Amino acid sequence: MSTFVLPFAPLGATVSFTAATPTPPTAVQAPIGDTSGTSAGQYRIVNDSTVTVFLGVGATSAAAIANASAVATSIPLLAGTCEVLRLGPNAFFTGKSASDTAVVYVTPGQGI
């Protein structure tokens, strides 16, 4: 059985938001381009800051904000990290920072 890993390939525009504390900002959507015949639904997420961001993801802006508001429903992104996560297509993203503000970039695509 052959197994191979594809490098990350963008399939949409990069979006960004500035995470803040104590309230996450309005969420941004990261639409994925044409994915016919692919297993798209992955996002490259970069925390370009010096603080941890609690990432909220959802099918709507309100869901993403609610998920970012609690540690139990958020995804912690350590300062200065880049993660590739598999999530629902056309997801909304926002975040709450541990302190200060933090810029987060999200690029939809496929691969790792």
Per-residue pLDDT at 53: 96
Residue 98 has pLDDT above 90, yes or no: no
- Kindly list the strands in the beta sheet with 75-77, ordered across the sheet, starting from the edge strand earlier in the chain: 28-29, 92-97, 53-58, 75-77
Per-residue pLDDT at 35: 59
Per-residue pLDDT at 37: 58
* Residue type at position 98: A
> What's the CA gap between 69 and 7, in Å, rounded?
32
Per-residue pLDDT at 89: 83
Question: CA 86 → CA 2, 49, 89, 99, distances in Å?
Answer: 22, 22, 9, 27
Work out the average pLDDT over 80-91: 92
* Residue type at position 96: K
Q: What is the pTM of this model?
A: 0.89
Higher confidence at residue 74 or residue 36? 74
DSSP string across 49-97? SSS-EEEEEESSHHHHHHHHTSGGGSEEE-TT-EEEEE--TT-EEEEEE
Residue 74 has pLDDT above 80, yes or no: yes
Work out the average pLDDT over 51-68: 96
Per-residue pLDDT at 2: 59
Work out the average pLDDT over 84-102: 91
Whether domain 9-110 has CATH 2.60.120: yes
> Closest Cα partner for 45 from 16, 7, 11?
16
